[in-house]
Amino acid sequence: MDRDTIIAASKKHDIVPGRVYKYGTAGFRMSGELLDGVTFRVGLLAALRSRKHNGQAIGVMITASHNPAVDNGVKIVDPMGDMLEQEWEAYATNLVNAPSHDELVEYFYKLAETLKIDLAAPGKVIAGRDTRPSGITLITALADSLAATNTTFNDYKILTTPQLHYLTRCVNTAGTPGAYGEVSEAGYYNKLLEAFDRALHGRKVSGGLTVDCANGVGGPKLNELLKRLDSQKTGLQVKVVNDDVLRPEILNLDCGADFVKTRQRAPPNPKPAPGDRWCSLDGDADRLIYYWVDPETGFFMLDGDRIATLAASFIADLSRSAGIDHQLRIGVIQTAYANGASTKYVEQHLQLPVVCTPTGVKHLHHAACSFDIGVYFEANGHGTVLFSPTAIQTFKTKAPQSPGQKDALDTLSALADLINQTVGDAISDMLMVEVILAHKGWTMKDWALTYKDLPNRLVRVEVGNKDLFQTTDAERKLSHPVGCQEEIDREVRKYTNGRSFARASGTENACRVYAEAATRSEADELAKKVAVNVREYGGH
Ligand code: G16
């Protein structure tokens, strides 16, 4: 590689001048039209990152997940399939904002020198994209930067985000004792289904399940999995809806996990029949929300908090049955969006520790690693359960003293294979939920009865400048604009069990306001008042 080659390639993929780009909650995310130069430059960083890791493969995912169809995004996946190390997010931001091609290359070489990266060494990048049409052009920009830096590039084309994370880990662990799985999409399905069967341990799922795929990449990928599923043996009968990826404009439109969670209602089309079990994935299949429409009480949602509490209680029970509960530390990681009732349930009923982190699975993932078993979920349905090497070793080596202990150890071992260890994965999480419900013999209603959510409301507020909003205390309080938090506190004090906070979104050009209170109307009212306040301080 040389400067001139990189400059020549960069000239074909300019950034839009005058804009400031930031590596946000999930990488760079904005209108797909603005991302050509950004993606080229992300390719340069991925080329550096791979060489920093002795040529291990780095993943690049092109997706805007839950955002509208016109948006797109690009983010980097580290060799073990987790999110890009935080320090490097700043390098990504600097690289993408370099004002000219010369300064870009200058910064690229400076980074290589500072980080002691041997540019002559081999580098490798793999990529995937969701079904957005703009992804095709963006992959070309990525390919050009990897060619200009002599980096081996493998384009896996259309994938869910969690599949790309899975493949990145598989590529880098292939042929080692820690091999994560077969390096192919088929390998992903086979791993999940084999573990699903093992985790069920002869039990059967009861009741059909309709899966709303947000008209995104989750549709075709779930269909691929279902082709391989033995629905007779496992009892899992899935009906896939909203899986039209041929009309890109309907992606996430009035359907999908984000719609269901923020509107707190089922997709209008097709309409769930009363009593049927439903769940929704988001646009890149990393979020999952369950729900049903009760013939008497109406819509009932089981969100990320519910999935976390279900998983934590099941795993804690299994650890007790296996006689390893004193050996392994189990913890639950949430964000400020977690319903107060769920936090109370975990701490008081399950007697497990809860850690609160800022929004973004990268923060939760990191915190989960400090436990032997870390259950992390955002209320929006994005999350997973991480098992430490010690935990996995314990499941395999502990000598069972009874058939019950053996069953518990085998189930824990199977769960560690079923649950995606790299990132939140809606398809893998869905199979996990089905396993747990089958083991417990629970209906959705039984699951819902574990605790009562505090009524809550999440609102999106358009402001003049979202960057004015700075937070502290794991995003539970605003430090800026000065005075705004005091106004929020004043409103909150007026409500029984009131809680509210505001923060700038890292994936959309807006602020988010969350409020909960003792009754539905109070939660709505509190959210509305705080939103007005945020709008005023945000210079609208
Ligand atoms: C991304 C992140 C999530 C985060 C969500 C919303 O999700 O991966 O961790 O909760 O954005 O973030 P914000 O409130 O900052 O906009 P996804 O599913 O869009 O990739």
- pLDDT at site 147: 98
Share of the chain above pLDDT 70, in %: 100
pLDDT of residue 507: 87
DSSP state of 323: T
Residue 430 has pLDDT above 70, yes or no: yes
Tokens of 83: 């999110």
State which H helix or E strand residue 276 sits in: none
Amino acid at 375: V
Is it the case that residue 7 has pLDDT exceeding 80?
yes
The number of the ligand 1 atom at minimal distance from the alpha carbon of 283 is 18
Q: Where are the beta strands (DSSP E) in 391-528?
A: 456-461, 470-472, 477-480, 499-504, 511-516
Rounded to the nearest 10 degrees, how much is the dihedral formed by the CA atoms of 27, 213, 342, 526?
80
Identified catalytic residue from 10, 50, 65, 134: 65
Would you say the CB of residue 29 lies under 6 angstroms from ligand 1? no
Residues 6+ apart with CB under 8 A from 330: 312, 315, 316, 319, 352, 371, 372, 373, 374, 375
Q: Cβ(272)–Cβ(278) under 8 Å?
A: yes
Query: Which residue's alpha carbon is at the smallest distance from atom 3 of ligand 1?
Result: 360
In angstroms, what is the span from residue 363 Cα to ligand 1's centroid?
11
* pLDDT tens-digit series, residues 448-499: 999 999 999 999 999 999 999 999 999 999 999 999 999 999 999 999 999 9
Residue 509: its pLDDT value, please?
Answer: 87
Closest atom, ligand 1, to C-alpha of 29:
19
- Segment 374-379 mean pLDDT: 98
Q: Which two tokens stand for residue 342?
A: 């769920």
Task: Give the CA angle between residues 312, 313, 314 to the nearest 5°.
Answer: 90
Atom of ligand 1 nearest to the CA of 362: 9
Q: pLDDT, tens digit, for every residue of 116-136?
A: 999 999 999 999 999 999 999
**What is the distance between the alpha carbons of residues 128 and 80, in angstroms, rounded to a whole number?**
16
Q: Which of 325, 129, 360 is nearest to 245 (CA)?
A: 129
pLDDT at 540: 64
pLDDT in tens, 215-270: 999 999 999 999 999 999 999 999 999 999 999 999 999 999 999 999 999 999 99
Q: Tell me if 386 CB under 6 Å of ligand 1.
A: no
pLDDT tens, position by position, 383-400? 999 999 999 999 999 999
Helix (H), strand (E) counts: the chain: 19, 19
Entry field: residues in the chain: 540
Q: How far is the CA of 267 from the centre of ligand 1 (A)?
A: 20
**3 has a pLDDT exceeding 90:** yes
pTM of the model: 0.96
* Distance separating the N- and C-terminal Cα atoms of the chain: 47
Judge if the beta carbon of residue 506 lies within 6 A of ligand 1.
yes
Tell me how far apart the alpha carbons of residues 305 and 337 are, in angstroms, rounded to a whole number.
Answer: 9
Reported as a single tens digit per residue, the pLDDT across 27-84 is 999 999 999 999 999 999 999 999 999 999 999 999 999 999 999 999 999 999 999 9
Answer whether 503 contacts ligand 1 (Cβ < 6 A).
no
CA 346 to centroid of ligand 1, rounded, Å: 23
Over residues 141-152, the pLDDT tens digits come to 999 999 999 999
Q: For residue 155, give the 3-state DSSP assignment.
A: strand
Q: How far is CA 381 from CA 163, 390, 416, in A?
A: 17, 27, 19
The bridge status of strand 209-212 relative to strand 330-335 is: unpaired
| Averaged pLDDT for residues 304-308 | 98
Going by CA atoms, what residue is nearest to atom 9 of ligand 1? 360
Q: Residue 500 catalytic? A: no
Q: Which residue has the tokens 């994935």?
A: 281
